[in-house]
């Protein structure tokens, strides 16, 4: 059952999509979130010759200049599917959060998604 007043919320940092080149996810404003959140990364096996996918969490006070959240780096994905989670101190993070991803290899392709789950103040 869905409760519209439930403060536990999910935000999409990267929808399920096929990616073949390096890029960034959309940023989200986390100012209404408190405590600890969780970033969940789900990736199918990569295709191509020696494909690699590296995903990190970045934050920004102004939604312009982003820097790495210390320690917020997922284990590299290659030709084996992976599901991973990273805890995030939402009180210590800057106001905006996004992912950055780097894809390398010859003809690489990865299908993945990233979501944040956290406690939203009402």
Domain boundaries, the chain: 21-120
CA distance 46 to 90: 31
CA distances from 72 to 6, 83, 101, 108, 115 (A): 27, 15, 12, 24, 14
Q: What is the DSSP letter of 3?
A: -
The yes/no answer on whether domain 21-120 falls in CATH 2.60.120.1110 is: yes
pTM exceeds 0.85:
yes
pLDDT in tens, the chain (122 residues): 455 566 789 999 999 999 999 999 999 999 999 999 999 999 999 999 999 999 999 999 999 999 999 999 999 999 999 999 999 999 999 999 999 999 999 999 999 999 999 999 87
């Amino acid at each position: 059952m869905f409760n519209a007043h439930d403060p536990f919320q999910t935000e999409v940092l990267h929808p399920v999509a096929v990616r073949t080149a390096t890029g960034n996810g959309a940023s989200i404003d986390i100012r209404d979130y408190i405590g600890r959140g969780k970033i969940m990364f789900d990736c199918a096996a990569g295709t191509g010759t020696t494909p690699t996918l590296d995903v990190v969490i970045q934050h920004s006070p102004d939604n312009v200049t982003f820097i790495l959240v210390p320690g917020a780096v997922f284990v590299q994905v290659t030709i084996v599917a992976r599901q991973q989670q990273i805890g995030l101190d939402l009180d210590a993070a800057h106001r905006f959060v996004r992912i950055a991803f780097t894809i390398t290899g010859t003809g690489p392709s990865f299908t993945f998604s990233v979501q944040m789950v956290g406690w939203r103040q009402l």
